[in-house]
């Protein structure tokens, strides 16, 4: 229930911030997440995001960026199945380089709050929840086809000893 409320608040915040901007983009992505140090295995998931224009600098533009994702992990260790998920919520800045009208690489960085949950299926289920705050930094490239775009993003999620990397193909639309 707590996750549903957080997702609803994040989607609401994304839609409000997008409406306030002059130009904005909405995108969806599929995530592959590398195994963090806590050895829970690689994860898969998806997310939605919005980026909006803040400042045109000639060689590119500075954008605000917000996104929310869900990444699922599972692993069996000594006969016990562990499963869980991460709900990273990212807010930061993205610099979109004006390489050409069609191909636009970018760099991004910001603050990330991650709501993590882990469940162990033993005789009696045990659940652990944790909220971490860290940094997210990465980059990627978008290929614009009219108002639509496709792209790929790589982001390092730097959260204490649970840091990991996501690689995400993306599709979106610009307004």
- CATH of residue 163: 2.40.160.20
How confident is the model at residue 90, as a pLDDT? 96
Contact (CB, 8 A) for 9 and 89:
no
How confident is the model at residue 62, as a pLDDT? 95
How confident is the model at residue 149, as a pLDDT? 97
Largest CA distance in the chain: 62
By CB atoms closer than 10 A (0-12, 13-18, 19+), residue 2 is exposed
Residue linked to tokens 């709900």: 87
**Helix %, strand %, coil % for the chain, to 5?**
10, 70, 20
Q: What is the pLDDT of residues 38-90, one digit of tens each?
A: 566 789 999 999 999 999 888 899 999 999 999 998 888 788 888 888 899 99
HSE, CB side, 13 Å, CA atoms: give it for residue 51: 24
Phi–psi pair at 14, nearest 5 degrees: -60, -45
Encoded tokens for 110? 């910001």
Question: Measuring CA to CA, which residue among 61, 33, 64 is closest to residue 47?
Answer: 33
Report the C-alpha gap between 23 and 84 in whole angstroms.
37
Report the C-alpha gap between 87 and 114 in whole angstroms.
5
Quick count: other Cβ atoms within 10 Å of Cβ 131? 10
109 CB-near residues (< 8 Å, 6+ apart): 92, 93, 135, 136, 137, 138
Domain carrying residue 70: 2-174
CA 87 remoteness from chain centre: 9
Q: How many domains does the chain have?
A: 1
Report yes or no on whether pTM surpasses 0.85.
Answer: no
**Predicted confidence band at 92 (pLDDT cuts at 50, 70, 90)?**
very high
Question: Which secondary-structure segment (H or E) carries 38?
Answer: none
């Amino acid at each position: 229930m707590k996750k549903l409320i957080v997702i609803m608040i994040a989607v609401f915040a994304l839609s409000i911030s997008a409406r306030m901007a002059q130009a904005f983009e909405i995108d969806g992505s599929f995530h592959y997440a590398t195994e963090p140090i806590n050895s829970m295995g690689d994860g898969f998931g998806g997310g939605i995001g919005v980026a909006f224009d803040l400042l045109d600098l000639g060689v590119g533009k500075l954008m605000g960026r917000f996104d929310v994702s869900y990444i699922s992990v599972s692993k069996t260790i000594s006969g016990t199945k562990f499963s869980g998920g991460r709900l990273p919520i990212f807010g930061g800045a993205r610099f979109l380089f004006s390489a050409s009208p069609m191909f636009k690489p970018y760099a991004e960085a910001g603050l990330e709050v991650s709501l993590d949950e882990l469940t162990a299926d033993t005789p009696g289920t045990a659940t652990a929840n944790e909220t971490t705050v860290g940094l997210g930094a990465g980059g990627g490239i978008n290929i614009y086809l009219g108002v639509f775009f496709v792209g790929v993003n790589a982001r390092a999620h730097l959260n204490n000893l649970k840091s990991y990397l996501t690689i995400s193909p993306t599709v979106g639309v610009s307004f």
